[in-house]
């Protein structure tokens, strides 16, 4: 966008970010570039090691360091083959991770944007209290919720022996993980989406009201489409969070390997020292490749969400 404006308004003097960039460009030093690239490489070397080891032959990876690849390179896809087709392998965990992450990203989007819309555009008594209440819940660490929540899934919600809410009977299913992630994501999601939805132009909302659109109609056909940038930011946040999560998966996923996501499977593999050592590299690479691709493709939205100010957990 910046390039478009700067090329159309050549006559105008530069302003704001562009001007800063122009100034900085003049002061750019080769030394700075050199050190930045050096640090960048340093940061990449560990990941590169995993990547290289993932397609070296079993014997080589076990007996020599990955850097020996540059001395005498060997290629072998055996590790990947084994990890993808073996019974205790990564194929089902990959599927499970997808199966956990997609609903756990989509469901909170709807629930949080509905709540954000209600708080922003349906004035009611005590809405400030509701908004700050939800926002303040970001303080509650996940760890505080785990035991009681699991108890709720198994026994329902009971106070002094009286059942207030029955158990949802989703114990031991993926739904339990979806629901947990949805609950834990809401404070951040409502906060981010509300802040965006509240800034939608009043004129559009009023025009729709005058045309006789109901509140729910406005939400569906105006708020939701216009909020796409904020939804994109939140989705990538939530996608990475859920995909990379180990704690919720371990607690609510149970120990059934058929239901484990990649993170839990990977943690098991690392824990079995020696047992499947040769599978670590390909399995590890498969664990990180999906979030890395998503991240690289949508980095822009991710940064925007990051800068909107968020504390997650």
What lies within 8 Å, CB to CB, of 94 at 6+ separation is 262, 286, 290
CA dist 155 and 30 (Å) reads 64
In the structure encoding, which two tokens stand for residue 261, read together? Answer: 């996501």
Question: H or E stretch including 54?
Answer: helix 30-54
Interface with another protein includes 270 (CB under 8 A)?
yes
In the set 77, 198, 228, 306, which binds another protein (CB under 8 A)?
306
168-227: contacts with another protein (CB under 8 A)? 174-175, 178-180, 182-184, 186-187, 190, 214-217, 219-220
In the set 79, 192, 278, 291, which binds another protein (CB under 8 A)?
291
Residue placing its CB nearer to another protein in the complex, 36 or 204: 36
96-125: contacts with another protein (CB under 8 A)? 96, 98-99, 102-103, 106-107, 110-112, 114-115, 117-119, 122, 124
Interface with another protein includes 228 (CB under 8 A)?
no
Interface with another protein includes 267 (CB under 8 A)?
yes
Number of residues that bind another protein (CB under 8 A): 127
Question: H or E stretch including 159?
Answer: strand 157-159
Measured from the CB of residue 204, what is the shortest distance to another protein in angstroms? 17
In the set 6, 74, 142, 172, which binds another protein (CB under 8 A)?
142
Q: Are 58 and 278 in contact (CB under 8 A)?
A: yes
Distances (CA, A) of 114 to 41, 69, 215, 249, 308: 44, 53, 11, 27, 19
Measured from the CB of residue 178, what is the shortest distance to another protein in angstroms? 7
Distances (CA, A) of 98 to 95, 105, 293: 5, 10, 14
């Amino acid at each position: 966008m910046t390039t478009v404006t700067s090329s159309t308004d050549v006559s105008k003097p530069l302003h704001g970010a562009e001007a800063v960039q122009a100034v900085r460009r003049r002061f750019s030093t080769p030394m700075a570039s050199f050190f930045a690239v050096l640090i960048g490489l340093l940061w990449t070397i560990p990941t590169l090691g995993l990547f290289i080891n993932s397609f070296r032959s079993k014997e080589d990876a076990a007996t020599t360091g990955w850097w020996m690849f540059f001395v005498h390179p060997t290629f072998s896809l055996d590790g990947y083959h084994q990890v993808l087709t073996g019974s205790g392998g990564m194929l089902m965990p990959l599927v499970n991770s997808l199966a956990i992450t997609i609903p756990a990203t989509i469901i909170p989007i709807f629930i949080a944007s509905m709540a954000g819309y209600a708080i922003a555009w349906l004035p009611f008594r005590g809405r400030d209290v509701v908004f700050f209440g939800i926002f303040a819940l970001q303080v509650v660490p996940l760890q505080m919720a785990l035991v009681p929540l699991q108890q709720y899934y198994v026994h329902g919600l009971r106070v002094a022996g009286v059942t207030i809410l029955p158990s949802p009977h989703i114990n031991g299913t993926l739904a339990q993980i979806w629901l947990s992630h949805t609950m834990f994501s809401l404070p951040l999601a409502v906060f981010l989406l509300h802040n965006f939805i509240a800034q939608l132009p009043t004129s559009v909302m009023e025009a729709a009201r005058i045309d006789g659109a109901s509140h729910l109609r406005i939400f569906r056909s105006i708020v939701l489409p216009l909020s796409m940038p904020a939804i994109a930011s939140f989705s990538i946040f939530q996608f990475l969070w859920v995909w990379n999560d180990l704690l919720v998966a371990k607690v609510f996923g149970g120990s059934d390997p058929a239901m484990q996501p990649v993170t839990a499977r990977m943690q098991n593999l690392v824990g079995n020292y020696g047992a499947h050592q040769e599978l670590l590299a390909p399995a590890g690479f498969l664990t990180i490749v999906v979030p890395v691709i998503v991240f690289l493709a949508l980095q822009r939205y991710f940064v925007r969400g990051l800068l909107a100010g968020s504390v997650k957990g």
